[in-house]
Amino acid sequence: MKLNFKQPSLGGKIEVPGDKSISHRSIMFGALAEGKTVIRHFLKGEDCLSTIDCFRKLGVKIEETDEEIIVHGAGWDGLKEPSSILDTGNSGTTTRLMLGILAGRPFHSVMIGDESIARRPMDRVTVPLASMGADIAGRDNGRFTPLSIRGRKLQTTEYKLPVASAQVKSAVIFAALQAEGESVIIEPEATRDHTEKMIEQFGGTVRREEDRIIIQGGQSFKGTDVYVPGDISSAAFFMVAAAIAPNSEIVLENTGLNETRTGIIDVFKQMGADMTVEKTSSEGEEIGTITIRTSNLKGTEISGALIPRLIDEIPVIALLATQAEGDTIIRDAEELKVKETNRIDTVVDELKKLGADIEATDDGMIIRGKSKLHGGSVSSHGDHRIGMVMAIASLITDGEVELDDHEAIAVSYPEFFEHLNQLVK
């Protein structure tokens, strides 16, 4: 795809698609609940469609209209042994969270994903699940897909997560919900808490005591209505676009503002961005409006507890930092190496091709601003977030950007180019 924007301004108002993490979980809880769940503003990206497909194969009736997804849940016991392989596509969330669900269901299932999933570590989930009694086999001792799950009765756990990961936490929560008695999960740093919030939304209970999450096993859920807020991880691309393009001001309505996800807003403030954030609702998930204008930015440091609150936004923050005066240093972000690609390497390599002064480190990167970017040939490497970073970069390049494998963007943001063209003036 050729991108030749001639350094435009951005203006206007959009609502980004529904949050990917919340969309996945709404299908999962809807399927496990008894009764009907109606989901509005669901993200129809490829990853979430993979989750729908897996639950249909498990016997759950799921209807799709333009406006809503309707899940006819039949409770934990309503899931049936699938007669074909569960294909999780490119979705780490689907693969890891479903392991926690399937580990405790009394049947056999097999899970496979795409080439990127086949490279991502699954032992971070299969190891704690095995300690609860799960029987999961897979390539390299259960480290990689394909995985075979023989569902069994599970025991409770007290598990300290070795890495800050919402996917590992959520998989263990799903297993703990099926065990008899109380389980405790301890987080090294707080990660996105959509699973915990959704337990409550579907009529269950969960306790949080500092870094401990306490789950009572044997809970059943009741179908409900879910409104999925706009995904702040998708909004991030246009926040950066408006901040770095000249004479711009855009408004992003109904964006999710859950504290565990708003690290990017903190970074924008640290860097001196011209923005306002207004909360409009705080029932269940917090929602609000973000207005962002062209900004004079300064370099910053991003590390520690902030990292899990913006992990998926780091590639686009790297682009932002190329347009800030001074150095931006990102530390403690080793987790980027096990995403759809090694996102430290891919973002550094691709931004360098456009003239950025950026260097990979063991646990992050150093970006020296401010750089004038030029055109060039880049690739998403099959990673949706890298594809979107490069498309946004093309707004400020002097010359055309040729983006290879832009189709990957449909994983989390099928309307991305439509929205980009709408905002470009």
Q: Rule CB under 6 A: choose which of 147, 412, 413, 423 binds ligand SPQ.
A: 412
Tell me: does residue 312 bind ligand SPQ (CB under 6 A): yes
**DSSP-assigned letter for residue 222:** B
Q: Are 65 and 47 in contact (CB under 8 A)?
A: no
Shortest spacing between CB 83 and ligand SPQ, in angstroms: 26
Torsion of CA 179, 183, 189, 190, to 10 degrees: 70
CA separation for the pair 127, 178 (Å, rounded)? 17
According to the annotation, is 312 in a ligand binding site?
yes
Tell me: does residue 250 bind ligand SPQ (CB under 6 A): no
CA separation for the pair 164, 191 (Å, rounded)? 6
Q: Rule CB under 6 A: choose which of 156, 167, 201, 300 binds ligand SPQ.
A: 167
Q: Which amino acid belongs to residue 182?
A: E
According to the annotation, is 20 in a ligand binding site?
yes
- 221-240 b/e (C-beta count within 10 Å ≥ 16 → b): bbbbebbbbbbbbbbbbbbb
Tell me which residue of 20, 338, 365, 364 sits closest to 162, measured CA to CA. Answer: 338
Based on CB atoms, which residue is closest to ligand SPQ, 36 or 119? 119
Using the Cα atoms of residue 170, residue 175, residue 177 and residue 181 in order, give the sign of their dihedral.
negative
CA distances in angstroms from 406 to 130, 179, 186, listed in the order given: 38, 43, 38
Tell me: does residue 285 bind ligand SPQ (CB under 6 A): no
Tell me: does residue 386 bind ligand SPQ (CB under 6 A): no
Based on CB atoms, which residue is closest to ligand SPQ, 145 or 371? 145
CB-closest chain residue to ligand SPQ = 92
Tell me: does residue 187 bind ligand SPQ (CB under 6 A): no
Tell me: does residue 21 bind ligand SPQ (CB under 6 A): yes
CA separation for the pair 128, 121 (Å, rounded)? 13
Catalytic annotation, pick one of 47, 193, 231, 312: 312
Shortest spacing between CB 46 and ligand SPQ, in angstroms: 10
Angle CA 132–194–75, to nearest 5:
60
CA separation for the pair 334, 155 (Å, rounded)? 31
Shortest spacing between CB 296 and ligand SPQ, in angstroms: 29
CA distances in angstroms from 306 to 190, 202, 401, listed in the order given: 9, 29, 32
Tell me: does residue 93 bind ligand SPQ (CB under 6 A): yes
Tell me: does residue 333 bind ligand SPQ (CB under 6 A): no
Known catalytic membership, residue 312: yes
Q: Rule CB under 6 A: choose which of 92, 100, 104, 364 binds ligand SPQ.
A: 92
Six-digit token string for 424: 């470009």
- Give the interface segment with ligand SPQ, choosing from 164-172, 177-185, 211-219, 356-364 (CB under 6 A): 164-172
Tell me which residue of 208, 223, 142, 121 sits closest to 173, measured CA to CA. Answer: 208
Tell me: does residue 23 bind ligand SPQ (CB under 6 A): no
Binding mask of the shown chain, residues 337 to 376, with x at each position contacting ligand SPQ by CB under 6 A: --xx------------------------------------
Binding residues: 20-21, 25, 92, 120, 165, 167, 312, 339, 343, 385
Binding residues for phosphoenolpyruvate: 20, 92, 120, 167, 343, 385
Annotated active-site positions, please? 312
What is the binding site for ligand SPQ (CB under 6 A)? 20-21, 47, 91-93, 165-167, 170, 192, 311-312, 335, 339-340, 385, 412
